[in-house]
Amino acid sequence: MAHSYTPGLKVLHESRVKKERILPLKGEVVVKENDSVNPEDIVARTHLPGSVQMVNVGNILNIDPADVKDVMTVEIGAQIPEGAMIAETKGLFGLFKSNCCTPVDCRLESISSITGQVVLRESPIPVEVDAYVRGKVAKVIPEEGVVIQTYAVFIQGIFGIGGESRGELVVLSANREEELTAEMIKPEHAGKVIVGGSFISLAAYKKALSLNVAGVVVGGFNYFDLEEILGYTLGVAITGSEDLVTSLVLTEGYGEIRMGHRTFDLLKQHHGKFTSINGATQIRAGVIRPEIVIPLDPEDLKGDVHAVAINEGIQPGSLVRVIRAPYFGRIGNVVALPPELQKMESETMVRVAEINIDDKVMVIPRANLEMVETD
Amino acid sequence: MVGKQLKTILATDCGSTTTKAILIELTDQGYRLKTRGEAPTTVEAPFEDVTKGVLNAIMEVEELSGLKILDGDTIIHPMRDDNTGVDVYVSTSSAGGGLQMMVAGVVKSMSGESAERAALGAGSIVMDVLASNDGRLPHQKIERIRQLRPDMILLSGGVDGGTVSHVVELAEILAAANPKPRLGQNYKLPVIYAGNIKAQESIKATLGEITDLDMIENIRPVLEIENLGPARDKIHDLFMEHVMAQAPGYKKLMGWTDAPIMPTPGAVGSLIEMVAKKENMSVVGVDIGGATTDIFSVFEGQFNRTVSANLGMSYSICNVLAEATLKNVLRWVPIDIDEGELTNRIGNKMIRPTTVPQSLEELIIEQAIAREALRLSFIQHKSFAVSLKGVQQERTISDAFDQSGSGETLVNMMELDLLVGSGGVLSHAPRREQAMRMMIDAFVPEGITQLAVDSIFMMPQLGVMANIDNDDLAESARKAAVEVFENDCLIRLGTCLAPVGKAKPGSLLLSAEFDLPETGKKTVELFQGDILIIPAPFASIKAILTPSKNMDIGKGKGEVLETEVFGGTVGLILDGRGRPFELSTDKSMRIASLNKWSRATNEYPDTALIGGV
């Protein structure tokens, strides 16, 4: 049977989700295997080395770099409070001494006899990693972090901004075609994850920001409005580190595009549940897509867990979505996968798929299709 | 011939997404490309072994060529008596993000720039250039080094015998940052010191313990001389020893190859350098990818390479829009289009980078963006490919009115002989005319310039073949690289003839007479604002070119030039749009001009169908 590898986004009603929670540097893991954790629980912590200040004692005291060692009043490794003296010249007959003080609380790390510089290291910076999702500690990686496992609804978006966030899921749009407007967003949505249909305007998203909404999940947003939110033009799709109270997850793309019905229905079904979302996106090798994780209560589990192994490829019958103009956003079933190259209107020769969309068979490049992966 | 005569050569290029294999055979017509195969690269999870992708690509070659190359998971080489296997196997790699370096020099525009040139020439991506005078405070530099986590660092500074304190200060900053390598936690970061030899002992004392330090000759021993060779060689060695050895599966791959694995851009650059040297010509090569655009040039015998890290056609397409501005992208679009709709479409290409243009409108938009990506990359290249800065110029009285200083760009468009394009948007453009037009519009060649595209992007593999060091194999492999480059790699598009000078609209710029191989003599007149195309095959064509009084076609204003030009798949394009070339700021006039040029060059099927004028 004809068969073609096509990427797809996951929309899974019940899935075993594993999340690695790893420290940037080695440190201490504070939970044990099989511990139950809530999203805000700290699971590991460490200290990043402090910032470095370099002070050119030779220049400040107007002495030869080779003599700097002799005038230092503190030893290497010593802890020094802000403003304390670190070097002093002998002066003339004990008079007219000049000295040099540290600008910060620090530890003396090294002294150079070639440049006259001393290196001062500030206090270490504490870093903590939380659990992000409700679940169990499936694995402890000593000194590095943990793997949290949960059974959950798992939905991938196509693009997002803002990092990890969480809150109660509130579906505001009546259907997947309906825009999420500013009027729908109210003060009581503070700290919640709100869901719209096809689109959110800049004004509506700004209102969500001002009301401290935890997150917005919606079909589309205008690319050119991102600049006003981010303060710069987004050149490459690498996001997640933006300092935004309201993370944004787009399920379809840029522009007004109705949300996939499966995605919308699934979100609606779990209205009111506690949800973790992450807008972080990286579209490069090692792709990261934004995600929505809705941990399921034991009574919700049906046991038909979908293994997250995909990419069996599309075959006749597969449900696919078109991801490029002129049929962008349309969903249909694969009718055939002819092996020979075909000429498009652009005269590009490509491998194609014949897709039945609303009872009309259309010829679309296979590269412009996305598997709608459901369970 | 010295050494062994090779009959079959297998070469692979492990790219970040695709691994490409080519098979070259010695035939009656010399070395020729037999076939090629490709497969997804397997550096990342779930495979995490680059050799799997290599074997898959080779399997495709096996199927297409009928030659048995693999014995299980082993490449048979040298060739066996039963005619299975190949004589030589070589590879390049840019998988896993390629080689990422940070360079440091005392003065940003002198040793800093030389270090950057050495790193770029070796095929690396330069993440940042640290310099004593870069305006950043020491703690800011330290923060930056920590953030970036390069694969290796090249440190230079000071002429031999000069002051040592500045370069040691840089070393102290590196030591304070104590950077960790990007790949592999269990080895020390390689640092190459290529500065003042007098400072070597102090550098060793500062960095010897915490890094894997190598000392080589000074990159700038005196101000007037740049000595890049030893630094480039050392970068290649360390790339193999450290970076590659850490990447998944590479230890195995290194055991298979008959020559060291080269970084992909390093191999392309060395091939372009070799061709320029052999033909004694000035060459510009460009590779426009999804994330980056690489430009290589050889002018006055000097090789330069630049990487525009965020100018590309998929992953970085929105950055092209950001840097070029929407207005500049739109000026190439011969149709009226809603601006908001256009930016959303470009954004959607960024987040779904593997899609292809199905409609003509989508193709036109992509090719408009490509023009801007190429144009911006070339501006960056021109500002980097310069003569050495800080060098005292000896002047005579005759130079009094032509006071060009040090640091002038080496790129002289009138001197450019050959422009080679590669990368999907150029190599796979549905019509070759489109590739030629994109390159002419973006690079704006002057006088007489040949244009070509790389048919299937095999320059990396040919580059590594040309660099085999083994005496027994070197001569034959180099010959194969040159012959395949000439016969199978390059698709000759033709020649662009563009008179330089300002003229009134509609005025005569050039009269030209060509002695065409099949149709005989042809005389044409080129007027301001027009483009003409003359179909002509790739063969030597005698031409008499008579520019108008204020126009220059290569010999000076109004001077007649008798020369030979070469046609190609497209032919001869006479570009009368003026140099400098400016598009009308009036929208309807611009769209009318774009459509006129498009029809004249047979660029698109018929833009009138989608709203063109």
pLDDT at B398 over 80: no
Q: Domain B8-94 belongs to what topology? A: Nucleotidyltransferase; domain 5 (3.30.420)
Which residue among A237, A325, A348 sits closest to B350, beta carbon to beta carbon?
A: A237
Mean pLDDT rounded to a whole number for chain A: 89
Of B541 and B43, the structure prediction assigns the larger pLDDT to B541
Could you tell me the pLDDT band of residue B524, with boundaries at 50, 70 and 90? very high
pLDDT at A129 over 50: yes
Longest dimension (CA), chain B: 74
* Nearest residue in A to B205, CA atom: A112
Task: Look at residue A167 and give its three-state secondary structure.
Answer: strand
| B450 vs B566: CA distance, rounded Å | 7
Contacting residues of B for A365, CB less than 8 Å apart: 355-356, 358
Give the model's pLDDT for residue B33: 95
Cβ proximity of B436 and B493 under 8 Å: yes
The CATH architecture that domain B98-256 belongs to is 3-Layer(aba) Sandwich (3.40)
pLDDT at A214 over 90: yes
Could you tell me the pLDDT band of residue A373, with boundaries at 50, 70 and 90? low
Phi-psi category of B110—alpha, beta or left, where left has phi over 0 and alpha has psi -120 to 50?
alpha
Smallest Cα distance from A285 to chain B, Å: 7
A117-122, strands of its sheet edge to edge: A52-56, A117-122, A106-111, A79-80
Do B353 and A283 make contact, defined as CB atoms within 8 angstroms?
yes
Give the model's pLDDT for residue B544: 97
Contacting residues of A for B360, CB less than 8 Å apart: 345-347
Task: Look at residue B470 and give its three-state secondary structure.
Answer: coil
Smallest Cα distance from A4 to chain B, Å: 14
Do A348 and B356 make contact, defined as CB atoms within 8 angstroms?
yes
% pLDDT > 90, chain A: 63
Do A367 and B355 make contact, defined as CB atoms within 8 angstroms?
yes
Do A284 and B315 make contact, defined as CB atoms within 8 angstroms?
yes
What digits encode the pLDDT tens for the residues A12-29? 889 999 999 988 778 899
Which residue among B322, B340, B358 sits closest to A235, beta carbon to beta carbon?
A: B322
% pLDDT > 70, chain B: 94
Do A253 and B347 make contact, defined as CB atoms within 8 angstroms?
yes
Residues with Cβ within 8 Å of A66's Cβ and at least 6 positions away in sequence, in order, are A113, A114
Give the model's pLDDT for residue B81: 87
Cβ proximity of A101 and A83 under 8 Å: yes
Q: How would you label B272-302 residue by residue, b for 16+ Cβ within 10 Å and e otherwise?
A: bbbbbeeeeebbbbbbbbbbbbbbbbbbeeb
Which residue among A115, A285, A346 sits closest to B359, beta carbon to beta carbon?
A: A346
pLDDT at B117 over 50: yes
| B543 vs B558: CA distance, rounded Å | 16
Smallest Cα distance from A274 to chain B, Å: 28
pLDDT at B400 over 60: no
- What does the pLDDT average to over A222-237? 91
Task: Look at residue B305 and give its three-state secondary structure.
Answer: strand
| B324 vs B315: CA distance, rounded Å | 16
User: Which one of B140, B146, B344 would you mutate to disrupt binding with A, by most A Cβ within 10 Å of its Cβ?
Assistant: B344
Q: Dig out the tokens for B157 from the structure.
A: 């500074």
Residues with Cβ within 8 Å of B502's Cβ and at least 6 positions away in sequence, in order, are B550, B578, B580
Do A51 and B321 make contact, defined as CB atoms within 8 angstroms?
no
Of A221 and B472, the structure prediction assigns the larger pLDDT to A221
Cβ proximity of A357 and A332 under 8 Å: yes
Whole-model pTM: value is 0.86
Of A211 and B387, the structure prediction assigns the larger pLDDT to A211
* Range list of H helices, A243-364: 261-269
Backbone φ and ψ for B118, nearest 5 degrees, come out as -65, -45
Give the model's pLDDT for residue A2: 44
What digits encode the pLDDT tens for the residues A251-292? 999 999 989 888 999 999 999 999 999 999 988 766 788 999
Which residue among B17, B318, B356 sits closest to A234, beta carbon to beta carbon?
A: B318
| B582 vs B331: CA distance, rounded Å | 10
CATH 3.30.420.40-classified regions of chain B: 8-94
User: Which one of A51, A54, A349 would you mutate to disrupt binding with B, by most B Cβ within 10 Å of its Cβ?
Assistant: A54
Smallest Cα distance from A192 to chain B, Å: 27
Cβ proximity of A249 and A167 under 8 Å: no
What digits encode the pLDDT tens for the residues B542-583? 999 999 999 999 999 999 999 999 999 999 999 999 988 888
Do B357 and A348 make contact, defined as CB atoms within 8 angstroms?
yes
Q: Which of B371, B383, B536, B532 is nearest to B439 (CA)?
A: B371
Give the model's pLDDT for residue B96: 67
| A252 vs B335: CA distance, rounded Å | 27
Contacting residues of A for B165, CB less than 8 Å apart: 65, 114-115
* Nearest residue in B to A52, CA atom: B139
Contacting residues of A for B358, CB less than 8 Å apart: 324-326, 344-346, 348, 364-365, 368
DSSP state for residue B481 in the 8-state scheme: H
Smallest Cα distance from A199 to chain B, Å: 13
What digits encode the pLDDT tens for the residues B322-355? 999 999 999 999 988 888 889 999 999 998 888 8
Q: How would you label A263-277 residue by residue, b for 16+ Cβ within 10 Å and e otherwise?
A: bbebbeebeebbbbb
Domain annotation for chain A: domains and CATH numbers: 52-122 (2.40.50), 158-289 (3.50.30), 319-374 (2.30.30)
Backbone φ and ψ for B339, nearest 5 degrees, come out as -70, -40
Do B176 and A114 make contact, defined as CB atoms within 8 angstroms?
no
* Nearest residue in A to B349, CA atom: A324
Of B240 and B399, the structure prediction assigns the larger pLDDT to B240
What digits encode the pLDDT tens for the residues B128-144? 999 988 888 888 888 88
Give the model's pLDDT for residue A165: 95
Give the model's pLDDT for residue A5: 47
User: Which one of A348, A352, A357 would you mutate to disrupt binding with B, by most B Cβ within 10 Å of its Cβ?
Assistant: A348
pLDDT at A310 over 80: no
- What does the pLDDT average to over B256-269? 89
Q: Dig out the tokens for A177 from the structure.
A: 């075609």
Do A346 and B430 make contact, defined as CB atoms within 8 angstroms?
yes
Per the listing, tokens 């309906």 go with: A178
| B189 vs B242: CA distance, rounded Å | 9
Do A285 and B97 make contact, defined as CB atoms within 8 angstroms?
yes
Do B139 and A54 make contact, defined as CB atoms within 8 angstroms?
yes
Contacting residues of A for B350, CB less than 8 Å apart: 236-237, 283
Q: Dig out the tokens for A215 from the structure.
A: 């997150």
Backbone φ and ψ for B531, nearest 5 degrees, come out as -125, 135
Give the model's pLDDT for residue A304: 64
Interface size, chain A vs chain B, as Cβ–Cβ contacts under 8 Å: 168
Do B353 and A223 make contact, defined as CB atoms within 8 angstroms?
no
What digits encode the pLDDT tens for the residues A44-93? 998 877 888 889 999 999 999 999 999 999 999 999 999 999 999 988 77
Out of A249-253, A281-285, A322-326, B458-462, least confident range: A281-285
Residues with Cβ within 8 Å of B390's Cβ and at least 6 positions away in sequence, in order, are B107, B109, B110, B223, B406
Smallest Cα distance from A79 to chain B, Å: 17
Of B396 and A106, the structure prediction assigns the larger pLDDT to A106
* Nearest residue in A to B41, CA atom: A285
* Nearest residue in A to B357, CA atom: A346
Give the model's pLDDT for residue A286: 62
What digits encode the pLDDT tens for the residues B61-94? 998 899 999 998 899 988 898 889 999 999 998 8
The predicted complex's ipTM stands at 0.85
* Nearest residue in A to B366, CA atom: A346
DSSP state for residue A249 in the 8-state scheme: E
Which residue among A114, A234, A367 sits closest to B165, beta carbon to beta carbon?
A: A114
pLDDT at B48 over 70: yes
Do A158 and B351 make contact, defined as CB atoms within 8 angstroms?
yes
